[in-house]
Every structure is written in C-alpha cells, then in structure tokens.
Chain A
Amino acid sequence: MFKLGNLAIETAKHYGADYADIRIIETKNEDLNVRNGKVSADYSQTLGFGVRVLYRGSWGFASSDTLTMEEVKKVSKEAVLIAKASNTLQAAKVRWAKEDSYKDHWFTPALKNPFRIPLEQKLDLMLKIDEILRKKPEIRVSTVEMSFQNIRKWFVNSQGSEILQDLMRSGAGYSVTSVGNNDMQVRSYPASFGGQYYSGGYEIVEQMELLQNAERVREEAIELLTADECEEKVSDVIIGGSQMVLQIHESVGHATELDRVLGYEANYAGTSFATLEKYKKFKYGSPIVNLFADSTIPLGLATHGYDDDGVKAQRWDIVKNGVLSGYMTNRELAHKINDTRSRGCSRSQGFSSIPIIRIANLSLAPGEWELDDLIKDTKNGVFMDTNKSWSIDQMRLNFQFGCEIGYEIKNGKKGRMLKNCSYQDITPEFWGKCDAICNENHWDLWGVINCGKGQPGQRAEMSHGSSPARFRKVHIGIGNKKR
C-alpha cells in the first residue's frame, strides 16, 4: 500500500504539485438492527483512495475506488489539474504549518474484535432485550442496535510520512416508542440516536449493562405518556451527562472550529460568535467551566495517532477557567491564530472526501459535586437528560434543545416525572450560569457518530465527556403551557 502511496506522490510532483498526500482507506462496517423482533443485518466494505495536492498555494483533490497503479497515476494527475483551476481565483496562498514526518503504525486498543464475535451471540443479546422492551402493549416500537466499524488507513505525504492506522469502534443501544393517552414518547438507553459508542472492541458492549436497564427504560417510556408536561418558565436546571454532550458539541465544539470562525462555512453550517479578537480574553462561561480537547483520550471516537494532515494527536484547552483559550485547527489555518503547529483536527469522512476541520474529542472537566448533594442544594429546578431534539443558530449563540425525560426538583428532592422538556439560552450567557459541576464519579465519555459538516456534506465521529451540571435561571418548556 505504501508503494501505491508513493506512486501518487511522485506523480503529483511530476505534474507540478508543491505538496501532496494520499490516503488509502479500507472500511468495514457491521450494523445490526432488531426492530419489533425483526432482524436486519448490514455488512459493508469499502476501499479507495483520495489524493490531495497543493499547486502554487491552491488545493486540488480527486479520488477513486479502483486501486491500481494506472488509476493512482490518473487520479493524482487529475488532482493537480483541479488545483490549477482553483488557482485562478486565489487571493492568498495556502500556508502549510510545519509538522514532523512520521513512519508509524497506530491502532485502537481493542480486546475483542467485534467482527470475530459470532453473529448469533450478538443477535441473541439483542433479541433478549427486545423481548423485555415489548412486554407491555403501550410499547409500539422497540429498536435495538449494534454497530461496529474498522478503518484501516494508509497515509503518505510528500514530506516523507508513512502512517498506517487501524481504528476500531463499537457501539450499542436501544430505544422504545410508547403510544397512548393521545401521545407518543421515546426513551433510550444508554443514549438516544443509536446508543453509546466508544473506540474499542466488543468488550465495550459487554460492559454497557444493556439487559439490566431494559425494564426500567420501558417503564419510563410508559410513565412519560401520562406524566405532566414541563411548563414554560424560567427555572434552575441540572443537565444530565448524556444531554451535556450535545450542549458541549453544539455550543462549544462547532463554535471553536477555526475554519468556521474564519467564514469558510458561511454559506452552509454558518459562522461563529467566538471570533479571533475574543481569543484568550472572552468570558465563555463561569470560572468553574473548563473544556479540553483531547485526541489521545482512551475510548474517544476521535482518538487516533494522527489526523488526516499527518499531525500527531494532542491534548489542549478550549475553555480554561471560563475563558476562551483554544480552537480546533488544521495545518492550513493554524497560522491564523499565530500557532506554528496544527492541533490536528483535520479529518475526512472517507477516501472520496477532502479533510476539513472537525471537532476533536471535547470534554467538560469534572467539578466537585456529588449528584445527590447537588439535587439537595437545588430549591426549585428541573433535572433533564437524554437528547431528543437540537437546534442552534448559525453563529452558535441561540440554542434550543429538547430532552427525553425530566424530573422536577423541589426543596432539594427529586419529584414528579416531566415530559416534553426543553431549554433555550444564549451560549456564553448559559455557560456563565453554570455554578456546579458533578465530580469524576459521575463523569463519562459519550460518542457522537452523526456530526455533519461541509459541502459536499461529510459525517464525522467524536466523543464528549461530561458529568451532570447545574445552570441557574434558564428558559425551559418552550412552546408548552405556561405557568
């Protein structure tokens, strides 16, 4: 594979490229789904390569799924021709940040290769869960999912790097839809939209306690049908860990992607309020808010050895003691914040997509509180968890999120269940209202597998760690009955 890689580099150079890299990518996916007892299994495999070149400071990119010497040469030449066309409308040349060259083989630590676990064993667990979930007539739909991914990626660039990475990801989860009382409600475990995902092997699924939680999840979905609706009002809220993940993703992750900040996404995903003059000054949140990016964190979906620019994985601060302290960067844009080196956030969906800046694993550092103490300390409030709906404006300021489940907190006690919970605020104001974060006993990493960005659209995966946290005086229950 490295031989084919070097052929691409030589060809691109021959046609005038100043820089070139190639990624040869092989992916393997297994997606299992049991819906109302019916099994679907989808097994997919892809193989192909993408060549990216810089010609006089302009980009060109081309790809193919035919892995032959001829095709590699043809596609490499095409990439240079495209770069030459781009060069006709180019005000400033691309400035490519320095990075050492590496010859390395990096792989995800995984104990049990999920592709070698017999299909029957996996389906057996899924069908058992399905049976528990559908024991009550109110449950109209039960969906149990498992998903495994293995990516082998060969990276070669014109600066001498030859890197092979072998990345493994495993995930599982389930959700039920209950119908009755003129309503429909959803409850999921361990998280919504497919469940929980980590980088690693099948051992991850075994540790999820999927079976043990099925009955509780089913009963919660049924109870939600007759639960009171979360009233529209201003209230203190405690946001659970799995919902915090989305909060971090949308209001900090995307907001600190440097390409977005600089207007590269202005026509599509949008821009960001976290502009460069705010760097190292702006109060993003209260002083207890610390968010760090980490491409080396165990179990993270964006954990790797190197990014798609060939930059080695790092850990750095995004928000330090409440102040905006960092961005997601790549080799092309690092110089815009006067960094000499990229943070390594350049990733692509696959061989036929060009690498762009993606959110790294981004987490809220744990605080000091036990969850029980935090509830005891809250006079009037609502505890909400598990994401159901999300929306945020194009500069990442005004957001409104919906949660699957909520509980009223009255005089320090968890009370009645609430449905249709939602909350809305403005990003820095909201993080400024954060006055308590639970400790590491309540902290977990949660995987996001459906992050969309770019034109043509690309999907990426990353993880966010968080524990439950409290926010004072937030607008909740939008569109519901007012109190």
Chain B
Amino acid sequence: MAETITLSVARYRPEEEAEPTVQTYEVPYRKDWVVLDALNYIKDQLDGSLSFRWSCRMGVCGSCGMTVNGEPKLTCAVFLSDYLPGPIRVEPLQYFPIVRDLVVDISDFLEKLQKVKPWIILKEEKPLSEGEYRQTPDQLDTYKQFSMCINCMLCYAACPIYGLEPGFVGPAAIALAQRYNLDSRDMGAQERLDILSQKGGIWDCTFVGECTKVCPENVDPAGAIQQYKLAGAAHWFKSLLLPWGAK
C-alpha cells in the first residue's frame, strides 16, 4: 500500500449551498509533490468539481495563493512533506469574497492597483531615437525589490487592516507605487503621494508587518509603507514650514 495523506479542503458551491463546507480527500503521499499537485490529483482522479486557480507551478504567476493550515501560501511552493503527517487544511485566501471553493474575487485589488498609477509618469517622454534612459545598477537596486511583486495577494490575506477596512489600498499596491516612485526614470511621486495620503491610503496602516512576513518574493511591502510614511510626513512638515516651496 502506498502511503497517503489527508487533505481537508474548503468547498463552496454557491448554486448549491449557502455556507462553505469542508470535504476530505485521501491522496498519495509523494515527497516531491507540492500541495498544488495534490489538488490536481483530486481534480483529475477523485472529484472533477473542485475549483482552484493555478498555472505556472513555479512560483511566478501568482495564481495559486490559498490558506494552508491557517497561513497564506503559494500552493505550488509548499510541499506535502512540510505538513507531515497531515491532515492538511486548504482554504481560500481570507478577507476576499469567495467565488467558489478555493477561488476568491481579487477584482478589488486590480482597481486599487490602477488607482495608484503603477506606470512611469513623465512630463515629456524623450524620443526613442535618443535611446535608453540611463540607470546605474545602484539606481536599479533602490527599487528592484519592490518590482518583484507577483500580485499573489498573500499579503492582503495576512493584513488585519485590510480585513477590517476593505477600503485600504493594501500592501502590494503601495509597494508597487513606491516601486515607481523610486525609479530614476519616473516623475510621478507627488501624484501618487496625493492619492495615497487620502483615506484608505498609507495612514490606514498601523504597521502590523504581517505582509512582509508572508511575502514569497521578499518584496517587503511593510518597508515600502514605512518609507512612504516618512516621505509623506516630510512633505507635510515642509508644507507647514515652507508653504510656498512644498512641491
């Protein structure tokens, strides 16, 4: 008999049930299987009706975030062997509306992302014929870390502020705003600060720091928020002291 491990998986089929339920499945235990492999085994062999998102199976597309034994994880980056002897509890990411089974609705994030203007803002773009904008490796390093965000939403699922205050822009969107602010090619920091100083912006964050802990890409959104607050505060002081020269 091959070894097996138990997965207890959250189910929710809105056409059939009012509340989420739990279903357990016995799957083969393989030491090089990630949790996502077990979910795919269930879908292929045991129950075709289980729904979840995935694509790359290499930790880069950001689709497969779920709550595994209570913590937000990329299911293609955690192994069955990390959870021996089981059972392994797999649930959707918290704080997002559940669409079905392990699938949550992240459209809120996409709206917020757009709001923080995550693109290069310039007064005037130089013609392509003049070639690239120069950017030294050091200049690249100042924002590189914040550019590594795969939009996996683990940080939102870990953020108690987002849980309480769904209007909060949230860790990843702020990190991405800061990614552009710090890019030597960009001139949009002020515009973004104006947006992020409003309600739902950086001041909502009470610096819990959970976002940075769960981030699979070491983006450090908490650090971004901290930097942002400092910039925001400096700007605020400046505008008090030097009302004519704040910009």
Q: Do A and B come from one complex?
A: no
Chain B interfacial positions (CB closer than 8 Å to A): none
